[in-house]
């Protein structure tokens, strides 16, 4: 746990969020500023800044993120259409420096 990190606080339930799913290793929440009608964040419970800091020890967790995305896709109206995005580094649009995968589906919201 990084006490400065908003996602660590959400994982510790010190900050409220809308939880979609949870496993021993992952938390899935609704993005607070959705860019599509379905916009979830798949967040490893372990604090890792981004993909650049993943190690071989994180292989199972990284695979579980993909399988979680697959599971989420099976719970939306059109399971055939969804996007997965991981922003790595501020120049790539990363704002929260705790690794996470965006799960986007449905229609794009106005303004994005
Ligand atoms: P990124 O730009 O890839 O780092 O994405 C960070 C995402 O986290 C953005 O889409 C934000 O809307 C979202 N976000 C930031 N704070 C919260 C929060 N407290 N609860 C849910 N989502 C958040
Ligand atoms: Zn964190």
Domains observed in the chain? 6-105 (3.30.428.10)
Residue 57 has a pLDDT of 96
Residue 28 has a pLDDT of 98
Question: Considering only CA atoms, which residue is closest to atom 1 of ligand 1?
Answer: 94
Cβ contact 110:80 at 8 Å: no
How far is Cα of residue 87 from the mean position of the Cα atoms in its chain? Answer: 11
SS3 94: coil
For ligand 1, pick from 29, 87, 96, 98 the residue to mutate: most ligand atoms within 8 Å of CB.
96
CA-based torsion, 79, 40, 33, 96: positive or negative: negative
CA-96 nearest atom, ligand 1: 4
Q: What is the pLDDT of residues 62-80, one digit of tens each?
A: 999 999 999 999 999 888 8
The Å distance, Cα 92 to ligand 2 centre, comes to 19
| Choice among 30-34, 46-50, 78-82 with the minimum mean pLDDT | 78-82
Q: Confirm whether 47 is a catalytic residue.
A: no
Instruction: Find the mean pLDDT for residues 39-67.
Output: 97
**Close Cβ partners of 94 (under 8 Å, ≥ 6 residues apart):** 50, 87, 88
């Amino acid at each position: 746990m990084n006490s400065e990190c908003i996602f660590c606080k959400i994982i510790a339930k010190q900050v409220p969020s809308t939880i979609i799913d949870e496993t021993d290793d992952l938390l899935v929440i609704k993005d607070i500023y959705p860019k599509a009608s379905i916009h979830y964040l798949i967040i490893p419970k372990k604090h890792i800044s981004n993909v650049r800091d993943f190690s071989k020890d994180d292989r199972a967790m990284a695979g579980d993120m993909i399988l979680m995305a697959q599971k989420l896709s099976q719970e939306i109206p059109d399971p055939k259409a969804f996007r997965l995005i991981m922003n790595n580094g501020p120049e790539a649009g990363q704002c929260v420096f705790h690794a996470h995968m965006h799960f986007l589906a449905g229609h794009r919201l106005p303004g994005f």
